[in-house]
Structure 1
Amino acid sequence: MNRIKGLRKLSVLKADPISGESLDRLENEALYYKEYWNLEFEIRGVQEPFILIIAIQGEVLNQNYADQDTIIMETKRMFGKFIVKANIHVRAIINIPSPPSIVNSEWLTESMLDAGILMSELQAATGIDKKTLQDWISDRIPMNRPVKAMFYYYLLYREKLRD
């Protein structure tokens, strides 16, 4: 399965041994967090009675990000079900969405209207053909990160020019 990097390091625990079945159940729990918060876990170190776990949150499409305290609490809760006697330390690395991640077709349409930007102006400024721009604006083609960044920073630039 290998949903938790370094999981086999737990096999050295003598005061709180963990069975193969429990390891499998722990990995299944990790799958829930991967799907819900895009959390990945890595066991960095085991030196009884201490365990160091790194919890890293990746980008979440639904923007449902957990804060650092929540990630630490949930990681301790998840591992604590199976490792009772150890002192679990968690380092949480949270995902801070980049400003362009807010860009979608609705945001783009609204921002263009607010700024008074016409499609022809956007076409001239970006050098992108009208059909492709229309496809992005109407959600017929999904915008990737570079495209979102282009629109975000272009509109930010236009806003700064107005001020």
Structure 2
Amino acid sequence: MKVILGVEKLEKIFSKQQILELEIAIGEWKEEDSVEFRIKSTQISDIYKCISVKVIQPKTQSGSYLHEHEMVSITENIFKPYLTAGTFLVVKAYPHKSVVVNVVTPNWLEERLVKKGVRVKDLALMTGINRTNISAWVNGSRPMSQPVKAMFYFFLTQPTYKKDILQSFFDDLASANIGSTIPVVTRHLSEEDIKHHVIKRARELDCQHTLGDFAKEITHVKFTEKRFLTK
């Protein structure tokens, strides 16, 4: 397999020796970071010469990946000694992008289930999937397809329980400015839920208001359909 795909397009710009040196340098980089290198096009006019390059980094065995700016910088440094005045290099880099649901493994499932306080039988009831199948995925005796991984990932990373929604709500509340509006999942949190937990949280933080003061203040908090307006 060629080190540089489309290398013949460089023949009108560089000498055979220069192309050989480029192939050696890119070959060493390819061996180290498993990049795929392609000359997309070259443009030659009376005023300038332009080389368009495409660099891709697929999945590697080491699991180590470069950022886009790093791939561009390495490519530019390899070509720099051979670029004369009026010769330009355009680099399009495509770093590896892992599929987010691939983090789902039996160990990940076990950890998330414990963190969420969810049992296998709870998953079976909530998803409608046979408990035996879920157990097999969780203990690793049955491989998970991508749709199954996606189901577990989104189900176990979303705030589906009141305690998770409250935590998300307080995270938003802590960073909110006065008068800002914070979305609230009202099907899980009632107005009373929010008032109760705001008071509880204030006491935990040892705020200088008494419970009575907070009870009065909280009555002035305005609630709209699915939003909480800070005062």
TM over 0.5: yes
- TM norm structure 2: 0.53
Work out the CA distance in 1 between the residues paired with 2:15 and 2:128.
62
**Partner amino acid, structure 1, of 2:151:** M
Counterpart in 2 of 1:124? 125
CA contact (8 A) 1:100 1:145 kept: yes
Asked if 1:99 is matched to 2:97, the reply is no
Q: For the residues of structure 1 that align with 2:105 and 2:62, how far apart are their CA atoms?
A: 12
Letter of the structure 1 residue corresponding to residue 107 of structure 2: E
Identity %: 25
- The one-letter code of the counterpart of 1:64 is S
The residue matched to 2:82 in structure 1 has which SS? coil
What letter corresponds to residue 117 of structure 1 in structure 2? V
Question: Structure 2 vs 1, CA of residues 139 and 3 (structure 1 numbering), >3 Å: closer, same or farther?
Answer: farther
Say if 1:4 and 1:30, in contact at 8 Å, map to a contact too.
no
- 66 and 9 in structure 1: CA distance in 2 versus 1, 3 angstrom threshold: same
**Cα contact 1:4–1:41 (8 A) shared by 2:** yes
Q: 1:61 to 1:121 in 2, by over 3 A?
A: farther
User: Counterpart in 1 of 2:9?
Assistant: 9
Higher relative CO (Cα under 8 Å, sequence separation at least 6) belongs to 1
What's 2:38 paired with? 42
Shift of 1:113: 0.6
- Asked if the contact 1:30–1:41 (Cα under 8 Å) also holds between the matched residues in 2, the reply is no
Q: Aligned equivalents of 1:42 and 1:97: distance in 2?
A: 22
User: 1:58 Cα deviation (Å)?
Assistant: 3.3
Output the TM-score relative to the length of structure 1. 0.71
What is the aligned residue count? Answer: 155
Amino acid at match of 2:74: E
Tell me how far 1:123 sits from its aligned partner.
2.7
How well do the aligned residues superpose, as a CA RMSD in angstroms? Answer: 3.2
Matches of 2:40 and 2:115, distance apart in 1: 49
* Gapped regions of structure 2 (runs ≥ 5): 166-231
Distance 2:28 2:36 in 1: 11
Following TM superposition, the consecutive aligned residue runs of length 4 or more in structure 1 with deviations greater than 6 angstroms are: none
Match in the other structure for 2:198: none
- Distance in 1 (CA, whole Å) between partners of 2:108 and 2:41 is 44
CA distance in 2, matches of 1:62, 1:145: 22
| Alpha-carbon distance, 1:6 to partner | 2.0
What CA distance in whole angstroms lies between the structure 2 residues aligned with 1:71 and 1:155?
35
Gap runs ≥5 in structure 1: none
Distance in 2 separating the partners of 1:103 and 1:63: 16
1:34-91 per-position Cα deviation (integer Å, ceiling 9, x unaligned): xx3x5322211223543111122334576533211111122234x438x723543212
